[in-house]
Structure formats: C-alpha cells, structure tokens
Amino acid sequence: MKTFFSEEHRRHFPQAELSGGEFVTPYERPSRVEYVLGRLKERGLTDIVDPGAPDMDAIRALCTPDYLEFLETAWDEWKAAGMAGEIIAASFPARRMQMSRPPRNIDGKAGYYALASETAITGGTWAATLSSAASAQAAQAHVAAGARAAFALCRPPGHHATADMYGGYCFINNAALVAEAFRRDGAGRVAVLDIDFHHGNGTQDIFYDRGDVFFASLHGAPEDAFPYFLGFADETGAGAGEGATVNYPMLPGTAYGPWAKALDDAIARIRAFGAEALVVSLGVDAYKDDPISFFKLDSPDFMDAGRRIGRLGLPSVFCMEGGYAIEAVGINTVNVLEGFLDA
Ligand code: 6XA
Ligand code: ZN
C-alpha cells in the first residue's frame, strides 16, 4: 500500500493549545507523523510519495468561498491588527445570536469560523492544511486508478472541519474530499467509516442530507466527549440522506468487545448500502493510553479492526485523523493498515 505524505505539515505547529484551563503544547503535533513514518518503514511499507499540489477546484467545491478566504488570510490580518500571539478564537455566536454575519474584525472572524478554541492558527497553517488535503486527493486518485487501497498520512487532520468551520485540530475535511472525488470518478455510492475516538461532526454535517454518501462513526458519547454537540444515536440523516448516517456513541471505559460489535454493525450497513468505495477516517485515539480519550482498545485490536474493514473488499482510502499516545500512534495506525492488507 502506498502512503501519500507531505513534509509541509511541519509548517503547522502552534505553540499553544487551551486545555483544562492551561496553555499546553498541542497534542496534535508534528512528531505524531514521525512515529507513523517510522513504523511504516519498520514494517516494510516504504512506498511513501509526496502528493504534489492540491486540486484547488475540489477544495473550492467542498468549502464556502468566505471560509477559504478566511483560512488563507487570517494570519496576515491578525498580524496587521497588531495581535502578539497565535490566533485563538474566543468569542462565538451562541444561542439566539446572529449566526450568518461574519464580523470585519479578525478576532470576531476567528470565533465565527471556529467550532472550538483549542485549535490555534499560525503563519504556516494554511500551507500545511493544503498539503494535507493534497495527500488525501493523491491517495484517492491512486485508488481511482486501480489500486486496492492507499494511506493518506494527513496532518492536520480533517474530520471535524465542515464546509465553513475549523476546530478539533481540523481545517479542511480530507475524508470528505476523498468521498466527493470517488463520486466524481464514477462511484455511485461511497461510504465513510470514522473510527477515530471523536465523532466526525464535520463529515456528518457535509453529507447529512445526501443519499449517495453513507457516514458511520464510532466515538465517545457526546455527553462525555468532544465535540459534545453532535454524534448522538438519533442523528440518522435528513431528506434524501435519511438512514445514510449512523452513530455509535459509546461510554467511558468501552473495550474492544463492544467497540468491535459496533464496527461489525457499521460494516454490515455499509455493505447493505451498496458502497462502491470506502473512506476510513483513521484515528487511533481509541487506544487505551491515549491522553485525551477514554476507550480501552489495545494495539492488536487495531489489527483486528483493519482485518474486519478489509473483508468489505472495497477500494479504500485511509485518511489519518487523531491519536496522541505518541509512541503507540505509529504501531496502532500501521496495525490497522496491515490488518486490512491481511484480510
Ligand atoms: C479538544 C479535543 C480535540 C480532539 C481532536 C481529535 N479538547 N479529533 O482528536 O479526532
Ligand atoms: Zn480524535
């Protein structure tokens, strides 16, 4: 399996994340991918290629024009306004406030386009975000050209990003780019399977009313876990998309047994849906020692999960999402890929 990866990811490395009322070094940091690359090489998965430039037309088709302009210009505006630190959103449109009037002021704009405040924007964020999207797009093109599967080692991740919001370390929804590209390349129906510990609110939002893209997510229950405000079991899609969203919220302490049962159910639904291509939002923060999550999966479980996914027999693109137990991120991620290849 080929890996698509860009060194440009390094350009996104905020110094601070607001966590537990403190500024900490962001959990989502460049070294995460070093562990994945190291493990890929250890296991002989050495076909690692640079994706080249992103397909901007596809990115423009996914995101709103004003949101993309914000991402591209935010840092310059922030500096021009005389702000000393990194861009951290602090004011949000909340209940009964205006939801559709982006402010002129850059501090206000950040709050308008953010869904949470842990995710800082810096001078290199836009370039890194585009390189991450490019990896996803190149992986999809490789599979559309006939490969069975490809791994997009995306950083920053994507599954929390909507067409017009960033947060949860995400700016552009890489998995959604892949799903849309499969559709454009002729797949009638596509499935996105999100096994990251956190609900893929962005992906769900993008496809919620679509009958052609199925979305399934296994995640910490919203009552207990970020992003808190989406990912309930009774969210099943709308309009033409009714029945094409399925959520498996699970409680603190959930171990592999019940998690795998949810996975099997999601896989059965993807099969019944008639998907012709699969996108996997591959987060490994369901791991037992992840510092910001609460499931209890162990490293061999990730290989078993990969095997179950592989048995679907679909052309598949894996997009890297979360996972913060630094040393284990490489092992767990590559375990999913090896399980898949072994299915
Ligand atoms: C913010 C937690 C963000 C989690 C991001 C993540 N307190 N998403 O891993 O998959
Ligand atoms: Zn996550």
* Distance of CA 185 from the midpoint of ligand 1 (Å): 31
pLDDT (0 to 100) of residue 124? 98
pLDDT class for 146, splitting at 50, 70, 90?
Answer: very high
The model's pLDDT over 74-121, given as tens digits with 9 standing for 90+, comes to 999 999 999 999 999 999 999 999 999 999 999 999 999 999 999 999
Amino acid at the residue 125: T
Using the Cα atoms of residue 151, residue 176, residue 211 and residue 144 in order, give the sign of their dihedral: negative
The model's pLDDT over 157-172, given as tens digits with 9 standing for 90+, comes to 999 999 999 999 999 9
The model's pLDDT over 5-59, given as tens digits with 9 standing for 90+, comes to 999 999 999 999 999 999 999 999 999 999 999 999 999 999 999 999 999 999 9
Q: Summarize the confidence of residues 227-247 as an average pLDDT.
A: 98
pLDDT (0 to 100) of residue 57? 98
CB 163 within 8 Å of CB 67: yes
Q: Kindly list the protein residues that place their beta carbon closer than 5 angstroms to ligand 2, a single-atom ion.
A: 196-198, 283, 285, 322
CB 104 within 8 Å of CB 53: no
pLDDT class for 137, splitting at 50, 70, 90?
Answer: very high
3-state secondary structure of 331: helix
Mutate to test the pocket of ligand 1, among 119, 292, 329 (most ligand atoms within 8 A of CB): 292
3-state secondary structure of 140: helix
Q: Is the CB of 180 under 6 A from ligand 1?
A: no
For the chain, percent of residues with pLDDT exceeding 70: 100
Spatial separation of the C-alpha atoms in residues 111 and 93, rounded to whole Å: 7
Q: What are phi and psi of 45, to 5 degrees?
A: -90, 70
Q: Is the CB of 155 under 6 A from ligand 1?
A: no
pLDDT (0 to 100) of residue 336? 99
3-state secondary structure of 53: coil
Ligand 1 atom at shortest distance from the alpha carbon of 323: 9
pLDDT (0 to 100) of residue 147? 98
Q: pTM to 2 decimals?
A: 0.99
Q: What is the 3-state secondary structure (H, E, C) of 66-85?
A: HHHHHHHHHHHHHHHCCCCC
Tokens for 181, please give them.
């590209």
Residue of the nearest CA to atom 4 in ligand 1? Answer: 168
Q: Summarize the confidence of residues 209-221 as an average pLDDT.
A: 99
Residues 6+ positions from 189 with CB-CB distance below 8 Å: 212, 213, 214, 273, 274, 275, 276
pLDDT (0 to 100) of residue 104? 98
Instruction: For the chain, give the mean pLDDT.
Output: 98
Helices (H), the chain: 31-42, 56-62, 65-80, 106-113, 125-144, 174-184, 201-207, 256-273, 299-310, 326-342
Among all bound ligands, the one having the nearest atom to the CA of 157 is 1
The model's pLDDT over 269-285, given as tens digits with 9 standing for 90+, comes to 999 999 999 999 999 99
Residue 253 carries which DSSP code?
T
Bridge partners (DSSP) listed for residue 282: 320
Which H or E element spans position 284? none
pLDDT (0 to 100) of residue 228? 98
Residue of the nearest CA to atom 2 in ligand 1? Answer: 168
Q: Is 160 a catalytic residue?
A: yes
pLDDT (0 to 100) of residue 263? 99
Spatial separation of the C-alpha atoms in residues 105 and 87, rounded to whole Å: 13
Spatial separation of the C-alpha atoms in residues 154 and 128, rounded to whole Å: 9
Burial zone of 299 (CB within 10 Å; 0-12 exposed, 13-18 middle, 19+ buried): middle
Residue 240 carries which DSSP code?
G
Tokens for 33, please give them.
């991918």
